[in-house]
Amino acid sequence: MVVGLFLLGLVIGYKIIHIQFVEGDSFKLLAEKTTIQNFEIQPIRGNIYAQDGSLLATSVPRYIIHFDAATVSTSRFENHVDALSDSLSQLLGKSVNYYYNTLVDAHKKQHRYRRIAKDLTYGQMTRLRTFPLFRLGGVRGGLVVERKTVREKPLGKIAERTIGYEQEQPNGSYVRVGLEGAFGDQLRGIPGLQLRQRIANGQWKPLSDSYLQEPQDGYDVQTTLDVNIQDITHHALLEALENFEADHGTAVVMETETGAIRAVANLGRTEEGKYYEKLNYAIGESHEPGSTFKLMALVAAFEDQVVDTTSVFDTQNGELTFYSKYKVRDSRKGGYGKIPITEIFERSSNTGMVQAIYDQYKSKPEQFVNRLMNMGLSEPLGLPIVGEGKPLIPHPDKKGWSGISLPWMAYGYGVLLTPMQTLTFYNAIANDGVMVKPRFIERTQDARSKMKRKSDVEIISASVCSKETIGKVKSLLKGVVEKPWGTAHNIYDPNFAIAGKTGTCQLDYNTDEVQYVASFVGYFPSDRPKYSCIVVVHRPNKEKGYFGSTVAAPVFQKIAHKLYSSIPVETKLSRERYLEITQRKMETSKGVVDAKVDVTKTQNKS
Amino acid sequence: MIASSHNIDQKVMEISALNTEIQELKSQFAETRTKAMYMRLETEVKTKLSERGFVSSVTPPTKIIIE
């Protein structure tokens, strides 16, 4: 008996020593692990702003509501379920029956976690907290509220693709779309680390008042986008797409001098015929530009002095044939006879243009192609937004060059450009030859320290061509709208001068089902350009219209007019003249003598 | 020691409650801002006013600079 007790004591003693000294360290570690943890402190993602400070993207909480049926007493549930279903239906839109059935079902099956609603805003959530039953809270009312942080875009569907999003993949890489993706590194911030100890109520308290690693909130990014211009552009494009039942389209507005992008609209059609920001066509989609490329071809010809504004070419009865089977046709049957190059451009004669370029360059196509390349047309713009479409300018030394490459290039086939690249070139013409890179960002800013980093105007090429050539093509671009025979004369307005070029490009031209891309690109006001703009509409319903002039140019006009009527006209007035006018006005209206004195006073002060 | 530790615990609860409040106010701000931004959009104003017969001006405003 005694020996037995002694042995038991020995065994217990051994176990104590074993636990204390042999297993001790691992148990201590386990204890620390469950009560002390290294917490990652999430930084706050930076906001994205428009040029005027309007919010384009910010992080906000959203709420998910579940119902815990097991914690609510049956009598209380039955008392309130009708009123609660009614309130839920009013707040969330689904039928009273739907909520009634959900709640009753959850109660019958004693579900502890039945989803009632998701993605509620703060306002909706606070209202829901006042509903019958739910106002009793978690234990007695069975209300379970969870919070998550989402990215909110106050402009909604407008410019959605340009603002974009960023999504972390399981492997730690990111899907990057639009500006959210392009500036993800700045916006994201750096998570901090802090040691915390578990305390009552499931809370964790910091072990020391300093962080192991300080979290750094993301930078705010201020874009060049203008909310109002974006709004106008979006709706003007949308209207045209709806009217012409097109597949998709894009419109971009760029400030001529700085290259600042003021608006980008990208709309694609759904199966139901609705439109939304589907893809960033403006940046991502390279396509054959068609007639808008005639400007580039003509600039090259002017620069090489092989063609001049007085040169006359034969439009060949509206049809040209290469290798006895490849045909170039004019949109007007029979052509325009022999007309000067200026008119060929303004009328957008394909045969005339091809004739002019082919005649001059057929023995030296590399000179033409090199000229185009020197103008920066074969290089991508290097935009921060990922997924820029690659431009293509065929070269006689490279694979794919054939006898029809040169004539086809003259009117914009066989080459590929994105709308943004085409716009950048036209903007260079508007900007007297200085090619600036399209700019999306005004500055990035640290929200706390207010430290700013400005993004400057980047010049791609100080001069894409000579001043003489600029002068010539500028007057041609003006002529396209101004001249009665110009292809875009339908948008002519004597009060407001637009310069630009139409494009009606064929798609699927090797098949029986030819489709079109209608475009218009240009700038305004034509004498002192302030904005450049491109409108591209893909695959309009042919029965409704497909010409650049009827589909795309009116969109351009609408945007231009709107901007024009919001840019103030400045008139200068000498002070004497001003006083004279106001005095005369004052005299004609009795009883405002005192006001006259006030006017002079304020004048003296300034 | 124990008192101060409890004090800290209380502070932690307080901070967590305040953080939730910040989040909620932020959300409320974003919500209101969104509403205001929509109301301000030109196309919105235009549709609202067109019912009363207003149309947007076709001529730009004039800025008079006195020298």
The ipTM assigned to this model is 0.75
Q: Is A575's CB within 8 Å of B66's CB?
A: yes
Residue A575 with chain B: CB contacts under 8 Å: 66-67
pLDDT at A167: 83
Mean pLDDT of A548-558: 92
3-state SS assignment for residue A545:
coil
Between CA A427 and CA A432, with CA A429 as vertex, the angle to 5 degrees is 110
Query: For residue range B20-41, what is the model confidence (pLDDT) as tens digits?
Result: 788 778 778 878 888 888 888 8
**pLDDT level of residue A602 (50, 70, 90 thresholds):** very low
Closest CA in chain B for residue A154: B34
| Torsion angles phi and psi, residue A351, rounded to 5 | -65, -40
Mean pLDDT of A176-194: 85
CA distance A290 to A429: 18
CA distance A490 to B35: 38
Query: For residue range A298-357, what is the model confidence (pLDDT) as tens digits?
Result: 999 999 999 888 889 888 888 888 888 888 888 888 888 899 999 999 999 999 999 999
Query: For a pLDDT cut of 70, what percent of chain A falls above it?
Result: 94
- Residue B51 to chain A, least CA–CA distance (Å): 19
Residue A493 class from Cβ within 10 Å (0-12 exposed, 13-18 middle, 19+ buried)? middle
N- to C-terminal Cα separation, chain B: 74
The verdict on B14 touching A (C-beta cutoff 8 Å) is no
User: Is residue A501 a contact partner of residue A294, using CB atoms and an 8 Å limit?
Assistant: yes
Residue A154 with chain B: CB contacts under 8 Å: 30, 33-34, 37-38
Find, among A311, A290, A299, A326, the residue nearest to A487 by Cα: A290
pLDDT at A368: 93
Q: Which residues contact A514 (CB under 8 A, 6 or more apart)?
A: A506, A507, A508
**pLDDT level of residue A474 (50, 70, 90 thresholds):** very high
**Both tokens of residue B64?**
């008079």
Query: For residue range A379-413, what is the model confidence (pLDDT) as tens digits?
Result: 999 888 888 999 999 999 888 888 889 999 999 99
CA distance A93 to A55: 28
Residue A398: CB atoms within 10 Å: 9
Residue B56: CB atoms within 10 Å: 13
Whether pLDDT at A485 is above 80: yes
Whether pLDDT at A595 is above 60: no
Query: For residue range A514-547, what is the model confidence (pLDDT) as tens digits?
Result: 899 999 999 998 989 999 999 999 999 988 888 9
N- to C-terminal Cα separation, chain A: 112
Residue A48 class from Cβ within 10 Å (0-12 exposed, 13-18 middle, 19+ buried)? buried
- Residue B13 to chain A, least CA–CA distance (Å): 7
Buried-exposed string A292-316: b where 16+ CB fall within 10 A, e elsewhere: bbbbbbbbbbbbeebbeeeeebbbb
Closest CA in chain B for residue A52: B37
β partners of residue A319: A329
Q: Which residues contact A158 (CB under 8 A, 6 or more apart)?
A: A230, A231, A234, A265, A277
**Both tokens of residue A383?**
């935009």
The secondary structure element, H or E, covering residue A143 is strand A143-152
pLDDT at B32: 85
